[in-house]
Amino acid sequence: MATAVASQVAVSAPPGSDRGLRSSGIQGMNNLCFGNKSWIGATLAWESKAVPPRHANKVLCMSVQQASKSKVAVKPLDLESAKEPPLNTYKPKEPYTATIVSVERIVGPKAPGETCHIVIDHSGNVPYWEGQSYGIIPPGENLKKPGAPHNVRLYSIASTRYGDSFDGRTTSLCVRRAVYHDPETGKEDHLKDGVCSNFLCNSKPGDKVQVTGPSGKIMLLPEEDPNATHIMIATGTGVAPFRGYLRRMFMEDVPKYRFGGLAWLFLGVANTDSLLYDEEFTSYLKQYPDNFRYDKALSREQKNMSGGKMYVQDKIEEYSDAIFKLLDGGAHIYFCGLKGMMPGIQDTLKKVAEQRGESWEQKLSQLKKNKQWHVEVY
């Protein structure tokens, strides 16, 4: 795989502001209360005595009916008709030539590194589903194989199947520029920079890009039950597929999919300037406080319960009782981001399970068997 700081993904077989739920918001063993609703297992019920979330006085609560009026119409709706997701429509030997629409830096000046939101026009010829990836072949010669093109780099798609223009003609990628620093001098060595991430971040509107795919099935959003619970855990550019999920749930007017469940996003980044798509996510929180939770782990700005840096696994531990109860009720849980995120998360989940008198190995096996466990790391 190419460098781990870009949003390139390698699909792993399933292995292994803070506005979260506090213990005071849990009523009884089975009731999890968010806003005005009580989540019993994974089932939605009304609960008039729910403890209001801490942001209750800061937002204008809207009913689903009111909020849906502001949703965006999408087309063409025949993108909903396929029974199976498209897979490998374009292969590395015969990629599709798409066009760069825009490249936008989406982190602040104090963020370590640069992350860009890149919109690509595929003219409707490379359709995909939420949670899939595109392959990108950067221009130039593969230095390890003289005369051959570069290898394909995979990037999680950061938009719904309708794209940011809502017309099914574009896709969006969230890419962190991979810059190499010499470990001895600390200076940048641009000869060793990530080839594909720098090509994409340096692109200009109108530039051509070679696209393969789409690929991937493990991160597809299950839509059989529109009232299901989805717990999404991301580090950095791993938030890409979750942006697609949330736009489908809360931004787009999709007749086939009227989401009425619970979506809970945990996002781990270095600091406030590193937050990705924060404005979008905050807007969902205001419009759908009963259906969306948003917790941030800012490692350079927040402390965990032990006084150390706050990482995403610390947030998981903080809300572990709620998470385990939701999983017991059938919730789906997704992990996307750096490969190094998983050992700490697995250790945390194992510790919590043991504290609850459960075997994490057995629980994990059951989650995989039930297709509740979704992992994609790079």
> Known catalytic residues?
155-156, 336, 376, 378
Partnered with residue 10 across adjacent β-strands are 377
Nearest to 220 by CA among 156, 268, 176: 156
Q: Tokens standing for 282?
A: 């905050």
The two three-digit tokens of residue 131, written as one number: 């949670």
Q: Half-sphere exposure of residue 99, counting CA atoms within 13 Å on the CB side?
A: 8
Partners of residue 26 on adjacent β-strands: 32
b/e sequence 232-247, b meaning 16+ C-beta within 10 Å: bbbbbbbbbbbbbbbb
d(C-alpha 52, C-alpha 33), whole Å? 8
CB atoms within 10 A of CB 38: 23
Burial category of 66 from C-beta neighbours within 10 Å (exposed 0-12, middle 13-18, buried 19 and up): exposed
User: Length of the chain, please?
Assistant: 378
Radius of gyration for the chain, computed over Cα atoms and rounded to the nearest angstrom: 21
CA 354 to chain centre: 28
